[in-house]
Amino acid sequence: MRLLMRVMCLDKPPRQSATSRGAAAGSPNAADEAAISRCRILGPGNKNLPLILSVIVRVLINGHDLASDDTVQRMSRLVNQIQANLPPDVFQSIFAQLTPADQAALQKTLSGQ
């Protein structure tokens, strides 16, 4: 998950390393494809992160109807990792974009309740 927070999404694919050039120059390897996929999900400048966090909070609110207990616990840990890896002002900006109900659920999750 820490890798998720470190990905810098640009409008172009990641550079190829010497080890990723392989036999077919210019073809992305699995790591490059994963990074490109993460960038598409997160969006340029991680602009989709508020929506992603909102979806996670919705699962946490309705966890028993939407996911297994294990998945709800994993998502709760994910939210804590997101908060720990983002600068406080960025996390507060994302938090401010959530609905009041989502904010309350997120606060509950972050406080460990």
User: Which DSSP letter does residue 21 get?
Assistant: -
| Mean pLDDT, the chain, whole residue set | 75
How do residues 9-49 score in pLDDT, each as one tens digit? 434 444 444 444 444 555 567 777 776 676 777 788 778 88
Question: pLDDT at position 108, please?
Answer: 87
The helix or strand, by DSSP H or E, that contains position 34, with its residue range, turns out to be helix 30-42
Q: SS3 for 51? A: helix
How do residues 49-104 score in pLDDT, each as one tens digit? 889 999 999 888 887 788 888 988 899 898 988 889 888 998 899 999 999 999 99
User: Which of 57, 61, 67, 62 has the alpha carbon at shortest distance from 98?
Assistant: 57
The pTM is what? 0.62
CB contact at 8 A, 49 and 58? no
User: Which of 63, 53, 64, 48 has the alpha carbon at shortest distance from 102?
Assistant: 53
